[in-house]
Structure 1
C-alpha cells in the first residue's frame, strides 16, 4: 500500500526536520510527502528545501499566510496540498503535523493494520510529550481516538466521508462520520508518537470561547451542547465557565455561522453523542 502524507507547516523551523527525518528513517519506503508551507516567516522553506532537493519523495506547496484559527487553518493547508495530488496513486492518506517524531515502524505497522483488517478506516498511535526529561502519554483524549497530528485514513474511507472539514472540531467530526459509514477508528497503543510542542499553546482564543465555538461547529443541538458545557465546567469546578461557554455557543447560533457538515451528518453527530450520553451517564 502506498502512502500520501500531507504536512501543513507554519513557522516550524525548529521542529520540522525531526518529523521529516523520522519519515526518511521509516522501515516502509513507499510514500510521498507533501509539505505545505503555510506562509511561514521563518526559515521553514529552507528546511523543506533540504529534503525536496535530495529526496524525490518529498514535495512542497507554498501558500500565502492564512488566518490563524484553530482547526480550519490546518485543514485549509492540508486541502491545498491534497488537491495537487492524484488519489488514484495512493492507498492511505495521512495528515501529519510538522512537530512529531514517528517510530521507525510507524508506516509499516499502520499498513499491516489496514491490510489485515478491511473494516479499518482510520488508524494511528498514541501521542507522548516530554516531561521531566522523559516521554509520557499526553492523555488529552481517550485511547480509542486517533489524534489530529497523526491521522492515517484508508483512501476509500477518506473519500466516502468527504475528506476533512475546514472547521473547528474536524478531528472529531471525522471519527463520527466514518463510524456512521461503517468504518472503524483504531488506535495502535504500541506506536508511540512524540509530540515536540504542546498543541494550542499559541492560540489567542479564550478557553470558554473555544469550547462554545467547538460545540457549535461540531453541530451539537442546544441540549447536548449544554450537557457538554456542563462537563467542561465541572472539570474546571467553575459555574461561570459554564455560562461563558454557553454564551459563546449561543453567539455562534444567533449569527447562524455556516456549518461544514450536512444536515444528515449533523444528525449522525448528535445521534452519536446521545449514544455516548446514554452509555456513560444514564447507564442505558
Structure 2
C-alpha cells in the first residue's frame, strides 16, 4: 500500500523540520509527501527546499496566503496539494499538520491496520502535548476520534465521502459521513503523536463565535445546536456564554451562509448526533 501525504504549512519554520524528519525516519518507506506552502513569510519555503532537493519523495506547492479561518484555510491548502497528484496511484491519503512528530512505526502500523481490515476507512493515533517536561494526552476529543492533524483515509473511503469539506467542522463531518456509508473510524491508541503547538492558538475568532459557527456549518438543526451550546456553556460554567454561542449560530442561520454539505449529508449528521444524545443522556 502506498501513502500520499499532504501537509499544509504556514510559517512553520520552527516545527516543520521535526515533522519532515519524523517522516523520513519511518520504517515504512513507500510514500509521497506534498508540502503546501500557504503564503509563508518566514523560512518555511527554504526548509521545504532542503527536503525536495535531497529526497524525490518530497514535493511542494506554493500558494498565496489565504485568510486564516478555522477549517477552510487548511482544507483549501490541502486541496491545492491534492490536485497536483493522481490519487489513483495511492492507497492511503493523509492530511497531516506541519507541527507533529510521528513515531518511527507510524505509517507501517497504519498500513497494517488498513491491510488487515478492509472495513477501516479512517485511521490515526492519539495526540500528545508537552506539559511540564512530559508528553501527556491532549484530551481535546474522545479517544475514538481521529483528530485533524493526523488523518489517514483509505482512498476508496475518501472518494466516497467526497473528500474534505472547506468549512469549519470538516474533521467531524468526515467521521460522520464515512460511518454513514459503512466505513469505520479507528484510533490506534499505541501510536503516540507529539503535537508541538496547541491547536487554535492563532485563530482570531472569539470562542463563542467559533462554537456558534461550528455548530451551524456542521449542519446541526436548532435543537441540537442549542443542546451542544448548553454543553459548552456548562464546561465554562457561564450562562452568558450559552447565549453568545446561540447568537453566533442564529446570525449564520439568518444570513443563510452556505453549507458545504448536501441536504442528505446534513440529515445523516443530525441523525448521528441525535442517536448520540439519546444514548448518552436519555439512556435510550
| 1:124 Cα deviation from its structure 2 partner | 0.1
Match of 1:21 in 2: 21
Structure 1 residue 71: deviation in Å?
0.5
CA distance in 2, matches of 1:276, 1:22: 37
CA distance in 1, matches of 2:223, 2:131: 38
Per the alignment, residue 32 of structure 2 pairs with 32
Give 1:204 deviation, angstroms: 1.0
Asked if residue 125 in structure 1 is aligned to residue 125 in structure 2, the reply is yes
Tell me the residue number matched to 2:187. 187
The CA distance in 2 between the partners of 1:170 and 1:202, in whole Å, is: 18
Give me the whole-angstrom Cα distance separating, in 2, the residues matched to 1:275 and 1:251. Answer: 27
Per the alignment, residue 87 of structure 1 pairs with 87
Q: Tell me, which stretches of 5 or more residues in structure 2 are unaligned?
A: none
Quote the offset at 1:88 in angstroms: 1.0
Q: Which residue is equivalent to 1:99?
A: 99
- Aligned equivalents of 2:79 and 2:145: distance in 1? 22
Matches within 5 A, 1:50-65: 50-65=50-65
TM-score calculated relative to the size of structure 2: 1.00
> How many angstroms apart in 2 are the aligned matches of 1:88 and 1:166?
22
What's the CA shift string for 1:199-243, capped at 9, x where partnerless? 000111110000000000000000000000000001111110000
What secondary structure sits across from 2:54 in the alignment? coil
1:256 Cα deviation (Å)? 0.2
Equivalent position SS for 2:5: strand
SS of residue paired to 1:53: helix
CA distance in 2, matches of 1:251, 1:216: 10
Provide the residue aligned with 1:152 in structure 2: 152
Equivalence for 2:224: 224
In structure 2, the residue matched to 1:277 is 277
Aligned to 1:203: 203
Paired with 2:11 and 2:135, the residues of 1 have a C-alpha distance of: 24
Aligned twin of 2:114: 114
User: Structure 1 residue 80: deviation in Å?
Assistant: 0.2
Pairwise CA RMSD of aligned residues? 0.3
- Output aligned runs, 1:134-173, within 5 Å: 134-173=134-173
Describe the SS at the equivalent of 2:188: strand
Match of 1:76 in 2: 76
Distance between the aligned counterparts of 1:190 and 1:34, measured in 2?
26
Q: Distance in 2 between matches of 1:196 and 1:82?
A: 25
Query: Which residue of structure 1 aligns with residue 267 of structure 2?
Result: 267
Give the Cα–Cα distance (whole angstroms) in 1 for the partners of residues 216 and 124 of structure 2.
27
2:254 alignment counterpart: 254
